[in-house]
Structure 1
Amino acid sequence: MRALNVSEPGAQPAVSDLPVPEVTDGHVLIRVRNAALNAVDNALASGMMAEMMPHAYPLVLGRDASGVVEAVGAGVDHVAPGDEVFGHVLLAPPIQAGTLAEYALLPAASVAAKPAGLDFATAAALPLAGTAAYASVEALDVQPGQVVLVVGATGGVGSYAVQLLAARGVGVVATGTPADADRLTGLGAATVVDHTAAAPVADQVTAAYPDGVDGLIDLVSRSAEGLPLSALRKGGTVASTLNAADEQALAAAGLTGSNIMATPVREVIEPLAALAAEGTVKADIAAVLPLERAAEGLATLAAGHARGKIIVNVGD
């Protein structure tokens, strides 16, 4: 099968022929239709996560996919060969299996039936980014009428967070450039602040909301120092996907918060797919690339230039 993989840590991702994975107990082998790119793919390719979890090579990149079930292992009874499904390859040692391939082996716990009204590209775009967004929104526990700042709103996770918040009746302040404004307001943002402007994001937010906003979802800051905490009112809540929510720093600012770890299991991705099928949320797909150009998409992600999700079309 054709698969985008790295032969060793830091190697340039390349498409080459690899054996089709053998189905094992508790797993589902799918013939991949579409796969989605995520920031973690670049981290795995570089080997930067190898100290956290053993890697094996050649390492196939990609974690999210949609496709058709080819075979199921023992103990799998919620899907069968021929079913249209979507899912995620959970991070478990040794890391080697991925979805940027003609066939992918996924743990049954993270495979769900694809709703009939959902196309394969949208389904592939949901698992990791949708779960991270959903977990971030849940962590804030904000109510209708409150206001949340989403930093990093233009990416895949951010686009889902904006929509999920807006669907709950929450006012959304989204960071982006002037070129992103129409797209972000179309997703449900009430206000767009320019993160490239001379004025800091926090100052722009407090100019529009003098009492401060109620919550912050930060998808880009890697330390507490980078969080725009002064944009929040006392008692506000923070959710970070990059481990920037430091308890002591938040407490000093009169805030609470948590660091988000997305786990795209079936119990989470099924409701997300239902929301997508009914039109409550949509996959903000920026580009659809053939497998041979998937490495270009990863480079776009690494450079921070992605707007929405990048999808790879693997097969028909």
Structure 2
Amino acid sequence: MSAKIKAVVLHEKGGQLVVEEVDKPTPKPQPNADVPGEQGDLLVKIKTVALNPVDWKQAEIGFFIDGYPVVLGSDAAGIVEAVGNGVTGFSVGDEVMAYTKLGVPGGYGAFSQYALFEAASTFKKPPHLSWEEAASIPVGSLTAALGLYHNLNLPLPTENPSFFREEFILIWGGSSSVGSYAVQLAANTGLTVITTASPKNHDYLRSLGAAHVLDYNAPDIVDQINSITKNNLKYALDVVSSESSNIALKVLSQNGKLAWVAGPPTDKKEGVQETSVLLGECHRDPKGSLKTLNRLLKVVEQLLIEGRIRPNNVEVIEGGVDAIPDGLQKLKKGVSAKKLVVKFD
């Protein structure tokens, strides 16, 4: 008889998130992962989980869900309890953090006392980071990295690129989790970062490496950006909405590139390429996107170890699995420049 554990379960689209007992998962092989040594799962005892807007949106809208009942949650840190077949480089007792499979039944959801971490999307936790900080990293950093280095095709910061002239990037929504990692990664890549936020978060974003921090509510925001870039902006990453994607589109020059996370632009601009950043699809295309994700994970992991990027500011919620539903409601009401992280026993 399988051991039982507590998890937050969603039984239907738009349903209530219910804390109940489920079977403790066991690692599964992933023979098509195409990432040597990382073609399988780790069973991890969860120490902390971070809450993301995608979590409550999934529950309400039902996107990226392969079937019900399902345990949601995709940002977690913990200790490896078992290593699946086909996995090398990880051992029982390792401290890890991961972006877990989004909306996949069968033990992959992070809102649980134990969860399966796909090895290809799992980081080793740097020892200088707390458990709370560790859980704040995977989804935000990997979404930012995917947007910058896959969608926008920028050079990797670990390749020590340097631009011989000033090259700008606009990151709309810099104080969000994804935005704050994007600011740091772009600065490490050698770009001059322009970002937007409410004034109370401007100093924070400058401390992350932003050269220009603008009030997103400013009525002349387009003129401000054009004045800085002299109408020569080639790269933009929007993490907020279709409305802000439209503004990014407006300030991009011919042959510019826009990557968006939260909503496509409803306007069009000739000569500008726009693409969506789809972290949630990476494990659904194991021979392509998962390999890309694993490569970017190694880059982020190295920068974390070297102290070149730092985790989000976090607000800790005590109470483990039972505290997650209320935590998601708090997140839905709005959180600024910090990540809500639930601490387990």
How does the TM-score come out when normalised to structure 1? 0.86
CA distance in 1: counterparts of 2:98 and 2:243, whole angstroms: 31
1:67 aligns with 2:78: yes
1:87 aligns with 2:98: yes
| Structure-1 residue corresponding to 2:62 | 48
1:288 aligns with 2:302: no
| Structure-2 residue corresponding to 1:11 | 15
CA distance in 1: counterparts of 2:220 and 2:65, whole angstroms: 37
Task: Give, in angstroms, the shift of residue 236 of structure 1.
Answer: 2.2
1:235 aligns with 2:246: no
Alignment of 1:109-258 (within 5 A): 109-138=120-149, 139-140=151-152, 141=154, 144=163, 145-197=166-218, 199=219, 201-222=221-242, 226-242=246-262, 244=264, 249-250=268-269, 252=270, 254-258=271-275
* Gap change, CA 1:298 and 1:130, over 3 Å in 2: same
| Higher alpha-carbon deviation: 188-197 or 203-212 | 203-212
In the alignment of these two chains, the number of paired residues is: 308
CA contact (8 A) 1:123 1:273 kept: no
| Higher alpha-carbon deviation: 179-188 or 257-266 | 257-266
Task: Give, in angstroms, the shift of residue 287 of structure 1.
Answer: 1.2
| Structure-2 residue corresponding to 1:314 | 344
| Structure-1 residue corresponding to 2:36 | none
* Gap change, CA 1:110 and 1:21, over 3 Å in 2: same
Q: Secondary structure at the match of 2:15?
A: coil
Q: Secondary structure at the match of 1:123?
A: helix
* Gap change, CA 1:32 and 1:96, over 3 Å in 2: closer
| Structure-2 residue corresponding to 1:302 | 332
CA contact (8 A) 1:36 1:310 kept: yes
CA contact (8 A) 1:174 1:191 kept: yes
- The code of the aligned residue for 1:15 comes to V
CA contact (8 A) 1:227 1:244 kept: no
Task: Give, in angstroms, the shift of residue 34 of structure 1.
Answer: 1.5
- The code of the aligned residue for 1:8 comes to E
| Higher alpha-carbon deviation: 33-42 or 265-274 | 265-274
Task: Give, in angstroms, the shift of residue 130 of structure 1.
Answer: 0.7
Q: Please give the root-mean-square deviation of Cα atoms over the aligned residues, in Å.
A: 2.7
Q: Where does structure 1 lack aligned partners over 5 or more consecutive residues? A: none
* Gap change, CA 1:187 and 1:112, over 3 Å in 2: closer
Q: Secondary structure at the match of 1:249?
A: coil
CA distance in 1: counterparts of 2:133 and 2:171, whole angstroms: 22
CA distance in 2: counterparts of 1:172 and 1:151, whole angstroms: 10
CA distance in 2: counterparts of 1:66 and 1:11, whole angstroms: 27
- The code of the aligned residue for 2:317 comes to L
String of CA shifts for 1:174-214, please: whole Å, max 9, x gaps: 111111111111111112211223x0532332244442433
String of CA shifts for 1:26-74, please: whole Å, max 9, x gaps: 321100111222222123212421xx643221x2221121111111222
| Structure-1 residue corresponding to 2:43 | 29
Q: Where does structure 2 lack aligned partners over 5 or more consecutive residues? A: 30-39, 156-161, 283-289
Q: Secondary structure at the match of 2:143?
A: helix
CA distance in 2: counterparts of 1:239 and 1:225, whole angstroms: 9
- The code of the aligned residue for 1:302 comes to K
CA contact (8 A) 1:101 1:314 kept: no
CA distance in 1: counterparts of 2:241 and 2:250, whole angstroms: 15
Q: Secondary structure at the match of 2:78?
A: strand
CA distance in 2: counterparts of 1:208 and 1:297, whole angstroms: 40
Q: Identity, % of aligned pairs?
A: 30
CA contact (8 A) 2:239 2:261 kept: yes
CA distance in 1: counterparts of 2:28 and 2:72, whole angstroms: 20
CA contact (8 A) 2:143 2:178 kept: yes
- The code of the aligned residue for 1:149 comes to L
